[in-house]
Amino acid sequence: MLGNRGVLVSTASTIVVLGLIALAIAMSPGADIVRERFFSWEHLKQSFLGTETSPSVVSAFLLNIRIFMTAEVIILVLALVIAVVRSIPGPVFFPLRAMAVAYTDLFRGIPLILVLYMIGFGVPGLGLKYFSSVADVTYGIVALVLVYSAYVAEVYRAGIDSVHESQVAAARSLGLSRWKSMRFVVLPQAIRRVIPPLLNDFIGLQKDTALVSVLGSIEAARAAQIYGAENFNYASYVVAAALFVLMTIPLARFTDHLIARDRRRREAGFAR
Amino acid sequence: MTAPSGGGILVEGVHKSFGDNHVLRGIDVKVDEHEVVCLIGASGSGKSTLLRCINLLEPVDSGRIVVGGEEITARRVDVDRVRRGIGIVFQAFNLFPHMTVLRNITLAPREALGIDKKAAEERAASLLERFGLSDKRDEYPDRLSGGQQQRVAIVRALAMRPSIMLLDEVTGALDPELVAEVLQVIRELAHEGMTMVIATHEMGFARDIASLVCFLDRGVVAEAGPPERIFTDPQEPRTRQFLQRIIAAGRL
Ligand SMILES: Nc1ncnc2c1ncn2[C@@H]1O[C@H](COP(=O)(O)OP(=O)(O)O)[C@@H](O)[C@H]1O
Ligand SMILES: [Mg+2]
């Protein structure tokens, strides 16, 4: 940990470095036009709040948050189911295992944007009555869930595989069923170990909520684009970018914290 | 072979291979109720595999195992039910690292036997008390010494009130000064009449505690008999050789 003096020195050096960078940018050729196009206070404010003709980037960002929150919960559950199915032994369950493998191979391989097109344009294009009232954003969430569940299932699976078979032997030897051994002994250890990579995937998910805009939903990136096109100014993009960064930082720091805690535990000889 | 008394174990003509590795090549062992049988033999001779077969952790390829009159290697046997009556303790303890000692012990009684939380905790508490581990009930396994962990593992198995205990080199991973406390626990169990099959390298202990010693060599019981005979007057050259090596290593 930094001492008082350490904090002072690091703050001072940060200010100096940032000041030098700002100075270099301000003095470089074209600095004025960059400042005007990207950092104009007026445009920053207007795109932030929205105008009569373009939506507020902040309000649009609430949609990103909603998409993220909804998708995240479904992914956590669905991916766990896929990972558990993949680890069921025995020839009887081969078809289930094969399906889980096929699923992960498929959806990790296809670019997210293609899945978005296929679901978002393809499914309504079938003209089925049942789907006629489904909102665009729902298709977007479905596409995110399909793709990210494949990634997260693999993360879970790595965790499940990392639990030594002697733990299962101990659980089964006590008369616990296969499922109860999984639930009480394997999964708690597996999930604990994969929380950092899991959070990492969710940082990716937070950013990829912007792609849902290709289906017509007005989320932050799309709102920024509308503002930019109308005003020939890119300050709206800066606003949107800042919002995304603000959202990912807490998760990133939390991930760091967990990783550091795991390392401390290991070094202290804890395997909890 | 005559049937074992009451809740004993009968192992008859058991074969087990892992791929090309023919590990058990026709094992016959009889364990009477309240009897302690020690399995000795070089590492790799199949002691652990035999114990794992008795606990149905490994399916046998052929032969049969009868426990308390029931053929447990028959088809359609409920393995979970059989295992509830047979405790096994491993060399590496295999405690659940994410659970406290108390939870390690109460998990199976609650989830496999359906005993309610309070009763399971009372049962655990009295076992912990008996084995001098009461102050460890809320610790996690990694805070305990090896000897304490292994005693907790024994308590965890006992909490299921098994009629049989299988012990697989339970002192094999312990520092020498921690061996005695674990052996003491096993002595107490033997004294109470627990039916046990013990794989061990502690020859002195085997001599004290066993009513029957089986020397395993390359997957067969090469010689079996009372400890006085096996350790002082072995009939088989293989047994003699093995014991000589053990003596040379200073373990008898
Ligand atoms: N799960 C397994 N898969 C493959 N081979 C195994 C397995 N378990 C044991 N073996 C093999 O079986 C043989 C006997 O092992 P084991 O029963 O552990 O002997 P012991 O306990 O007497 O040292 C060894 O050659 C070992 O490699
Ligand atoms: Mg062994």
A24 pLDDT more than 90: no
A143 pLDDT more than 90: yes
Within A22-81, strands assigned E span: none
A272 pLDDT more than 60: no
Which ligand gives the minimal distance to the CA of B16? 1
Chain segment B91-106, per-residue pLDDT in tens? 999 999 999 999 999 9
What is the pLDDT confidence band of residue B2, given thresholds at 50, 70 and 90? low
The burial of B86, by beta-carbon neighbours within 10 Å (0-12 exposed, 13-18 middle, 19 or more buried), is given as buried
- Containing B88, the helix (H) or strand (E) segment is strand B86-89
Chain segment A26-50, per-residue pLDDT in tens? 888 888 888 888 888 888 888 888 8
Q: What's the CATH number where B194 sits?
A: 3.40.50.300
**Identity of the amino acid at B214:** C
B116 pLDDT more than 90: yes
Q: Are residues B108 and A270, on separate chains, in Cβ contact within 8 Å?
A: no
Q: Domain range spanning residue B179?
A: 9-248
Rg (CA), chain A: 24
Rounded-to-integer distance, Cα A76 and Cα B252, Å: 56
To the nearest 5 percent, what fractions of chain B are helix, strand and coil? 40, 25, 35
On whether any CB of chain A is under 8 Å from the CB of B179, the answer is no
Chain segment B158-182, per-residue pLDDT in tens? 999 999 999 999 999 899 889 999 9
Pocket flag, ligand 1, residue B59 (CB < 6 Å): no
Chain segment A247-261, per-residue pLDDT in tens? 989 888 888 888 888
A56 pLDDT more than 60: yes
CATH superfamily assigned to domain A61-220: MetI-like (1.10.3720.10)
Residue B16's pLDDT is 97
Residue A266's pLDDT is 65
For residue A174, the chain B residues in CB contact (below 8 A) are 83-84, 87, 107-108, 112, 156-157, 160
Torsion angle of C-alpha atoms B215, B226, B171, B34, degrees rounded to 10: 120
- Cα angle vertex B51, ends B47, B55, to 5°? 165
The residues pairing with B217 across neighbouring beta strands, listed in sequence order, are B220
Question: Per the domain annotation, does B29 fall within a domain?
Answer: yes
Tokens 């270099």, residue located? A24
CA of B101 to the centre of ligand 2 (A): 25
Q: Are residues A174 and B156, on separate chains, in Cβ contact within 8 Å?
A: yes
Pocket flag, ligand 1, residue B47 (CB < 6 Å): yes
Residue A252's pLDDT is 85
> Where do the domains of chain A lie?
61-220
Question: Per the domain annotation, does B200 fall within a domain?
Answer: yes
β-strand B70-71 against B212-217: which pairing, if any?
Answer: unpaired
Please report the number of interchain residue pairs, chain A to chain B, with beta-carbon separation below 8 angstroms.
Answer: 69
Chain segment A81-110, per-residue pLDDT in tens? 999 999 888 889 999 999 999 999 999 999
Question: Per the domain annotation, does B1 fall within a domain?
Answer: no
| Interface with chain A: mutation pick from B81, B106, B142, highest number of A CBs within 10 Å | B142
Rounded-to-integer distance, Cα A201 and Cα A156, Å: 12
Question: How far apart are the CA of B108 and the nearest CA of chain A, in angstroms?
Answer: 6
What average pLDDT score do residues B210-217 get?
A: 96
Chain segment B22-76, per-residue pLDDT in tens? 999 999 999 999 999 999 999 999 999 999 999 999 999 999 999 999 999 999 9
Q: Give the orientation angle of helix B101-111 with respect to helix B117-130, to 10 degrees.
A: 130
ipTM of predicted complex: 0.93
Of the candidates B84, B67, B48, B252, the residue with the CA atom closest to the CA atom of residue B170: B48
Return the percentage of chain A with pLDDT > 90, whole number.
Answer: 59
What average pLDDT score do residues A215-242 get?
A: 91
What is the pLDDT confidence band of residue A216, given thresholds at 50, 70 and 90? confident
